[in-house]
Structure 1
Amino acid sequence: MPGPIQSLTRAAAILRLLAGGDRRIGLSDVASSLGLAKGTAHGILRTLQQEGFVEQDPASGKYQLGAELLRLGNSYLDVHELRARALVWTDDLARSSGEAVYLGVLHQQGVLIVHHVFRPDDSRQVLEVGAMHPLHSTALGKALSAYDPVAHGQVTDMERAALTPRTITGAADFERVLELVRARGWASDLEETWDGVASVAAPIHDRRRIPVGAVAVTGAVERVCEDGDFRAQLVASVRDCARAVSRDLGAGRF
């Protein structure tokens, strides 16, 4: 059986690099991060740019993912039954909560955002569809890890980095968090991933009662929390949304 084509492997590595970390990366950083000669990296980037998979900022000369890649990604996401079933419910949740809503699934030891409803105000926001969020610190990740054995195995084996001073990294402490998630039916993130940001999430199950994703409301701590705790109505709304999507997937009432 023929081996992998080196140029395609390198192109895939560049796309993964651009998908994580800083949104724009310079040629030198791409080359050094992947151990490539500048000329090789530039040739691959130029080809990806011609195909629309990469864009170059004319001011800084740095590269970022292109619109064609997003279009291809969305063509996959559009046929994803979870996303299709959740569209109406997540829109309603964003309207009722006044906050951004995320739909995430387990992917490569992280949470892949497959749907994002903007906070319903006039503030400038960045679409997070296709972004990878941490599995161990986000409410989405904890909801998945608490109910999905595969996610639990991955988060147990991985290094849980301290993203903020509040991130829970210890194995025993993290297991206690997951026990709490299972006991109350929802997960939280209080400045464990990003300073000043809080989130509430609940798991979504399919007709086999298998967890297939999670939905979350995310916003500034002062809006998501009240008197030092998560707003009860917000938690109830997130859980209702998760139940509604689960029912549409055939999970029945629970």
Structure 2
Amino acid sequence: MPGPIQSLERAAAILRLLAGGERRFGLSEVATTLGLAKGTAHGILRTLHQEGFVEQDPKSGKYQLGAELLRLSSSYLDVHELRARALVWADDLARGTGESVRIGVLHKGGVLVIHHVFRPDDSRQVLEIGAMLPLHSTAWGKVLLAFDPAARAELDETDAVAFTARTITDAAAMDAQSVTVRERGWAGDVEESVLGLAGIAAPIRDRRGTPVGAVGISGAVERIVADGAPRPALVAAVRDAARAVSRDLGASFPY
């Protein structure tokens, strides 16, 4: 089994040092405190600075934690808070609708499933926590595209793949669809990713009213859809769950 990478260990030690201090540290202080050669410490700090993990005061030349590291930390906490706040409501939604429930967040051009509740029956199912869902062809992705500008920007960097004959891949059509999703407050997909399956999702917002994820249900088309559209009772249940999670995150209504 390979051993630890020394340069990464040293970078981690520098970050811990900066995180634990109440002041900025100069190059010599970092090197002396951690027992590193000044050249080694400087090289690591320069790399961390380039990546945004540390910042250097232009006057004193001393270092402190950077915004990128704080952003990653905030993202980690937000995702875990979202999951913790949503657990009960996701269970209730699965019981109330009889369908499986997923909660997803924007991640690397797709929707990362951070929580999954099985359909409450005896059928064999696969846990999908950690799975990635497409942005353009799932209800969760459509919600993020409609309410989160970052999602639309990330989709522009990838090619929208047609999974079925019903998948929308045209950019103008997707933008028009997003307008509709914003107007009604929820998104649906009918056999756009997988034949025979449909989904409904609604946005989850934080205390600032910012969209931080989506919650929704998926299941067989015949259970989710009636007369060519998602069943109103299921749409209402999904939207109620999204509002409940949002309230627990501190969101106020109207946004």
Same fold (TM over 0.5): yes
CA distance in 1, matches of 2:134, 2:171: 16
Q: Are the aligned partners of 1:77 and 1:114 in contact in 2 as well (CA < 8 Å)?
A: no
Q: Are the aligned partners of 1:78 and 1:84 in contact in 2 as well (CA < 8 Å)?
A: no
Helix, strand or coil at the partner of 1:80: helix
How many residues get paired?
181
Helix, strand or coil at the partner of 2:243: helix
> Does 2:117 correspond to 1:120?
no
CA distance in 1, matches of 2:130, 2:79: 15
CA distance in 2, matches of 1:93, 1:195: 24
Helix, strand or coil at the partner of 2:119: coil
Q: How does 1:121-200 map to 2 (within 5 A)?
A: 121-200=121-200
Cα deviation for residue 154 of structure 1 reads 1.1
Superimposed CA distance per residue, residues 29-54 of structure 1 (whole angstroms, 9 cap, x where no aligned partner): xxxxxxxxxxxxxxxxxxxxxxxxxx
Cα deviation for residue 77 of structure 1 reads 9.0
Identity over the aligned pairs, expressed in percent? 64
CA distance in 1, matches of 2:78, 2:250: 19
CA distance in 1, matches of 2:187, 2:124: 27
> Does 2:235 correspond to 1:240?
no
In structure 2, do the counterparts of structure 1 residues 225 and 77 end up closer, same or farther at CA, with 3 Å as the change threshold?
farther
Helix, strand or coil at the partner of 2:162: coil
The amino acid that maps onto 1:231 is: R
Tell me the equivalent position of 1:226: 226
Helix, strand or coil at the partner of 2:114: strand
In structure 2, do the counterparts of structure 1 residues 159 and 226 end up closer, same or farther at CA, with 3 Å as the change threshold?
same
Q: Are the aligned partners of 1:77 and 1:83 in contact in 2 as well (CA < 8 Å)?
A: no
Q: Which runs of 4+ in 1 moved over 6 A?
A: 76-79
CA distance in 1, matches of 2:214, 2:124: 25
Structure 1 unaligned spans of 5+: 9-75
Tell me the equivalent position of 1:99: 99
Cα deviation for residue 226 of structure 1 reads 1.2
CA distance in 1, matches of 2:166, 2:218: 17
> Does 2:210 correspond to 1:210?
yes
Cα deviation for residue 155 of structure 1 reads 1.7
Q: Are the aligned partners of 1:100 and 1:120 in contact in 2 as well (CA < 8 Å)?
A: yes
Cα deviation for residue 157 of structure 1 reads 3.3
The amino acid that maps onto 1:217 is: I
Superimposed CA distance per residue, residues 52-108 of structure 1 (whole angstroms, 9 cap, x where no aligned partner): xxxxxxxxxxxxxxxxxxxxxxxx799700000000001000000000000000000
Helix, strand or coil at the partner of 2:111: strand
Greater radius of gyration (CA): 2
Q: How does 1:84-95 map to 2 (within 5 A)?
A: 84-95=84-95
CA distance in 1, matches of 2:133, 2:172: 22
TM-score by length of 1: 0.69
CA distance in 1, matches of 2:169, 2:79: 36
> Does 2:250 correspond to 1:250?
yes
- RMSD value over aligned CA atoms? 1.7
TM-score by length of 2: 0.68
Q: Are the aligned partners of 1:207 and 1:249 in contact in 2 as well (CA < 8 Å)?
A: yes
